[in-house]
Amino acid sequence: MKLLPSPLVCRDAVELVSDYLDGTLSRRGRRRLEKHLAQCDACTAYLDQMRATIAASGTVGPEDLPSDVVEGLVNLFRQYRSDD
Ligand SMILES: [Zn+2]
């Protein structure tokens, strides 16, 4: 069984998330990201986590995430990628 090809891979999506939350992402980029989020639980979880982090700290950026959170996300992505 073959999954539908995704125009945006998770690594790209994660890079877009901070711009998305900053409000600096282009409309086209936002549409691509939202399309990806609609079918990717890992990136949706990542976005939620980033939102929560921003709400708590007022800053944005993967470097602001606690290391245990990053570790959890890495595992999440690994799980997701292993479905390929
Ligand atoms: Zn993804």
Q: What is the pLDDT of residues 2-58, one digit of tens each?
A: 555 546 888 889 889 888 988 899 999 999 999 999 999 999 999 998 888 888 877
Question: How far does residue 42's CA lie from ligand 1's centre (Å)?
Answer: 5
Question: How far does residue 56's CA lie from ligand 1's centre (Å)?
Answer: 24
| Cβ–Cβ < 8 Å for 36, 13 | yes
Taking the model in full, what pTM does it have?
A: 0.61
Helices (H) and strands (E) in the chain, counts: 4, 0
Question: How far does residue 23's CA lie from ligand 1's centre (Å)?
Answer: 19
Q: Could you give the CA distance from residue 81 to residue 2 in angstroms, rounded to a whole number?
A: 14
Question: How far does residue 62's CA lie from ligand 1's centre (Å)?
Answer: 16
Residue 64 burial class via C-beta count within 10 angstroms: exposed 0-12, middle 13-18, buried 19 and up: middle
